[in-house]
Structure 1
Amino acid sequence: MSPNRTSSTRARAARPSTGGDRPPSGGRRLTVIAVVLAVVAVFAAIVVALVSNGRELGEPAGGGPVELSHVHGLGVDPGDGEVYAGTHYGLIRVPAEGEPTLVGDTVQDFMGFTVVGPGHYLASGHPGEGQDAPGNLGLIESTDGGQTWQSLSLAGEADFHALRARHGQVYGYHGGTLMVSDDKKTWQTGAQLPLADFAVSATDPDVILATTEQGLARSTDGGTTFDVTPGAPLLQLVSWPDGELVVGVAPDGTVHVSEDGGASWTERGSVGEQPQALVADGDDIYVALDGALLASNDGGTTFKARYDGR
């Protein structure tokens, strides 16, 4: 791979007592006016507080109910075992029980999102309303479970639509090019190819699978070159949880599983429609649909709704 230019930066009023004389009508009018003005002042303070936090009225505050939609990336945090979704409307926590909630107060567009470790996430995308940041966030990092984010590199330059962290390296896909970094700051450029998703081998940092319109492509040189894998199903999303186990989902929602690193595939169940994001954690598989998150604990044979807001 050839080195690429790197940019490092730095995200009813109380009723009068009936024990005395009734106040004159002018006094009543003044009382009503005072109450109205007080209500207006409180409402104005709420609006100012929301705007100052970079949110418009009606957008969710941290911890509030949200709608799970436009999901660009999924990850399972090994610290709490919960599923986190990077979406167009912020980072969403989808618990095993209860409603999804917004993580933190930043409602920005997470185009790429991946979990590195407990409370440790990497992401990319675009800033939210009122957020002082360049149009493309480059690589950003959170070490407090998504509460706050720090810019690491390529701010203003890169908008990673897919991110993976493995073998001490970060793999990202931006502008049709696969890129790799071993320090989150300096990047090398690899192959240029139109892909929908990619996954890195759990055992070999040089083996990468990518989903393309021509079929599943495989790289054995760290993403410098790719070759289409003969006989593989046409997949939209792919996840490599561990060992030689690989999980893929086709554009129609059919789930396929490989137990030999993508060389051969077996059809399992289906999520019933086009998927938005996928993550596999052993035999636990999570697939985001528009407005829902489905979960399988039997390797993709059957699915049930972890959350369905439709």
Structure 2
Amino acid sequence: MNLSIAYQTGKKFFFFYSLLFIVAISIGCQKKENEVIKTIEAPAEIHQLNVLNASFFTHQNTKEKIFIAGSDGEIITFDKESNQWLAADTPDFNDKITALASNSTGILLVAVGENGLIAHSSDSGKHWRKRPSPTQKTITTISFDENSKHWIAAGEYGLILISDSTGQHWQQVEFDSASTFSKIVSLPDQIIAIGDNGLIAQSKDGGLDWDIIPPVSTAPLTDITVTNTNTLISSADGNVLRGNVGTNSWEVITTGASTYISRIFFDSNQDILISLGSDGDIFLSDDGGNLWAPVAQQNHYLNNIAQSADGKRLLVVGDKGQLLVSDNAGRTWKTQHSPVNTNIEGAIASGDSGFIVYGESGLLMQQKNSQSEWKIINYPVSEFVHQLLANALDNWIAVGTKGTILTSNNQGKAWQPAITQTQETDYFLSVIQDKRSGNLIAAGPPGTIVVARPNSNEWHIRLALNDSNQGYFHRVIGDDNSTIVAIAGPGTTYYSSDAGENWNSANIDNSKQLFNAIYDHHRQQFIAVGQDGIVQLSPDGKNWVISNTGITQSLQTVYATANSIRAAGDKGALIESTDNGKSWRDTSLASQATILSLFETRDHSFIATGTQGFIARRDNDEKHWQLIDPPTRSSLRTPVQDKDTGIIYVSGKTGEIIYSKDDGISWRLLSPVTQGSIKSLYIDSHNKMLIGVGERLIRVPLLTRND
């Protein structure tokens, strides 16, 4: 089995049944009325960060800086002198980074990762550029060999690559094994590589030629450390391999661990070995690895270990925010309070006795010394975010799955989750602000509506149906008189006449599911669209009437202008009304794509976007729509337009962003930002930034007409 796959599979299967148990409990819990959601103190900022919740998996520590990298091609840098965090410039790649390495000066660095990624920096990590790669395989590990001045990288299925001292030109080296590598270590007299199927290989000429050691284990080998006399390698079957690299004599030592050993560590000050297990066990050996004893047992996967710069403290990190510290060389361990519940992947010594830790969903924390608490530098956002509301410069709100409500007081540069007692089954799909009262209202399945009053950091539950079949709220909309409507499909549509404080079921036909709705300011009416071509209209949100459209395709979107109302949906369905929605004309397009969005540009052209990269455009003075050849086949979301430049942006389901500078006639791909799905885009005109929410939270500079 591929080692990287085995590692992830081990973690997934270990927690699968625990996850089912947790979900079962959360679904069974009963919601309480008037539960309170309180916001917490805003975090520090990573300057120029494009993907705010990219997961971090690996790091490299140099004399002057710390580099941390992970998904979406993100690399962040900590300057040890200024104590500032800065995202590096990585404009031409968004692949997951699996490993980093630097030369001895820290000026040259190389990052490797998925899809054969090789990225190079020659200015101490400020700017990175993708280099030509001889492979599309995932590269899992990299090292710089000081003796030969070679860079050596390795990856899936026996892949080995080498480069000269510049790190810019790479070639593949023949290797007589199809096993995937997990780690490469450069020693004073040779290079050692380990991997799947008990693979141990060595090179004495800078990685050009390799000798494979006869296997003493068939298990995947996970980590390697070197003591004063021996080399020790941990394995996925709970054992440790010990050998003398000079004689190639290896033996298998039983540690007592029954599961995957993720890391093995040598404390040279105390001459002690420590190993970490996937079941949460920590084992210690003080006799060179002959005998191992359990010294701590936790309930979650342990991922990494680090030693403070003064050598007095050890820190172990793991899943679910686990932080364990020892001040007696690992003989006893104490659990530290963790402010997060996110998986922590790595730890780095910082200062004399402090640490920096990083992990999934953008997690970054720092403890300055042994006496201080953990400070969150970047909050982890792991849930899908459906909608953003920028209701003020210093008060942005975003809502999403599993009860997620996020706030930002610095225009989306950093986000922090609200502290909430709502259940993970609450999925907030929509949020608005009532114009008259200033109330914030968020809604979603399973029939949950929460409200925050002006100048308050507390959110209160105002409706709790606890059943998605009774209230799958797709959209919450409001008029100018504090009437709020939560559109359901399936379930019952609800309305409030007092800015969301009290709710009642609307007098509406619930036999057809409603998927989207707007408040038409031109005609002062609510319009809802949905299943089998249904359109329903209401002047007050309480009483609704069906308008016959004459089509059977489901409608997904609706848009109103002063002259007409348009609705669109499945299989190119497109209808138009010029009499306030009383009658409709079928203007459907010759397409099997589902139209997800309708948008009017500042020049009054219309753009329709949808699945399979669908784009159609109609000039203001034309009657017919023109199908546009798209630069992507991904499902396209709702367009947004920069009012200053006129540039239109559309996000895709697989992370791409396309743009048009000619009112939607032609489109190009924006430089890659993320591989995560982006559901919605927003223009921040104040800061000249494009904001995106979805699987990832992104923040990138707006284009100019000259870009």
C-alpha separation between the residues in 1 aligned to 2:180 and 2:128? 27
Render the CA deviation track for 1:216-239: whole Å, top value 9, x for unaligned. Answer: 624355562322564899752335
Q: Which residue of 2 aligns with 1:306?
A: 356
Amino acid in structure 1 at the alignment position of 2:266: V
State how 1:146-225 maps to structure 2 within 5 Å.
Answer: 146-154=125-133, 157=136, 159-167=138-146, 168-183=149-164, 184=167, 185-187=169-171, 188-205=173-190, 207-212=191-196, 214-215=197-198, 217-219=200-202, 222=207, 224-225=210-211
Q: 1:120 aligns with which of 98, 104, 108?
A: 108
Deviations 1:69-92 (A, max 9, x none): 351x32112223x3x222013113
Residues 236 and 249, structure 1, Cα contact 8 Å, conserved in 2 = yes
Q: Is the 8 Å Cα contact of residues 85 and 93 (structure 1) preserved in structure 2?
A: yes
1:16-31 residue pairs with structure 2 within 5 A? none
Q: 1:86 to 1:255 in 2, by over 3 A?
A: same
Q: Deviations over 1:182-202 (max 9, x none)?
A: 424252222424245123232
Deviates more, 1:238-247 or 1:103-112: 238-247
Question: What does 1:59-74 correspond to in 2, within 5 Å?
Answer: 62-63=48-49, 66-67=52-53, 69-71=55-57, 73-74=58-59
- Paired residues of 2:265 and 2:305 also in contact (CA < 8 A): no
Identity of aligned residues (%): 11
> Any conservation in 1 of the 2:302–2:318 contact (CA below 8 Å)?
yes
Amino acid at match of 1:208: I
Aligned to 1:255: 264
> In structure 2, what is the equivalent of residue 227 of structure 1?
213
Q: Distance in 2 between matches of 1:172 and 1:101?
A: 26
For residues 33-112 of structure 1, the aligned pairs below 5 Å read 62-63=48-49, 66-67=52-53, 69-71=55-57, 73-80=58-65, 82=66, 84-89=67-72, 90-93=74-77, 102-104=87-89, 106=91, 108=94, 109-112=96-99
Query: Could you say if the C-alpha distance between residues 154 and 218 of structure 1 is closer, same or farther in structure 2, counting changes exceeding 3 Å?
Result: closer
**Which structure 2 segments of 5+ residues have no match?**
1-45, 237-259, 274-287, 337-354, 364-379, 381-707
Residue aligning to 2:572:
none
Counterpart amino acid of residue 306 in structure 1: I
Q: Which has the larger radius of gyration?
A: 2
Distance 2:186 2:175 in 1: 17
Find the residue that maps to 2:224 and give its secondary structure. Answer: strand
Distance 1:292 1:119 in 2: 33
Aligned residue pairs: how many?
A: 235
What value does the CA root-mean-square deviation take over the aligned residues? 5.1
Matched, 1:238 2:238: no
1:131 aligns to what?
Answer: none
| Cα contact 1:61–1:102 (8 A) shared by 2 | yes
CA apart distance, 1:241: 9.8
The higher-RCO structure (CA 8 Å, 6+ apart) is 1
Q: Give the Cα–Cα distance (whole angstroms) in 2 for the partners of residues 100 and 291 of structure 1.
A: 24
Gaps in structure 1 of 5+ consecutive residues: 1-59, 127-134
Distance, in Å, in 1 between the alignment partners of 2:97 and 2:289 is 31
Task: Report what 1:20 is aligned to.
Answer: none
User: For 2:263 and 2:296, how far apart are their aligned partners in 1?
Assistant: 4
Q: In the alignment, residue 162 of structure 1 is paired with which amino acid? A: T
User: What SS is found at the alignment partner of 2:124?
Assistant: coil
Q: In 2, distance between residues paired with 1:271 and 1:105? A: 40
Q: Report the counterpart of residue 30 of structure 2 in structure 1.
A: none
Q: 2:121 aligns with which of 118, 139, 142?
A: 142
Structure 2 contact 98–112 (Cα < 8 Å) conserved? yes
1:176 aligns to what SS in structure 2?
Answer: helix
1:153 and 1:124 mapped to 2: Cα distance? 12
> Is the 2:182–2:221 contact (alpha carbons within 8 Å) kept by the matching residues of 1?
no
In 2, Cα distance between equivalents of 1:287 and 1:196: 24
Q: Return the alpha-carbon distance in structure 2 between the equivalents of residues 101 and 293 of structure 1.
A: 26
In structure 2, do the counterparts of structure 1 residues 232 and 159 end up closer, same or farther at CA, with 3 Å as the change threshold?
A: closer
**Deviations for 1:138-189, whole angstroms, at most 9, x for unmatched residues?**
x321022322223444266454221111131121113312424242425222
**Residue matched to 2:701:** none
Distance 1:256 1:247, change over 3 A: farther
Work out the CA distance in 2 between the residues paired with 1:299 and 1:162: 32
Q: 1:174 to 1:195 in 2, by over 3 A?
A: closer
Higher mean C-alpha displacement, 113-122 vs 185-194: 185-194
The answer (yes or no) to whether the contact 1:245–1:258 under 8 Å persists in 2 is no
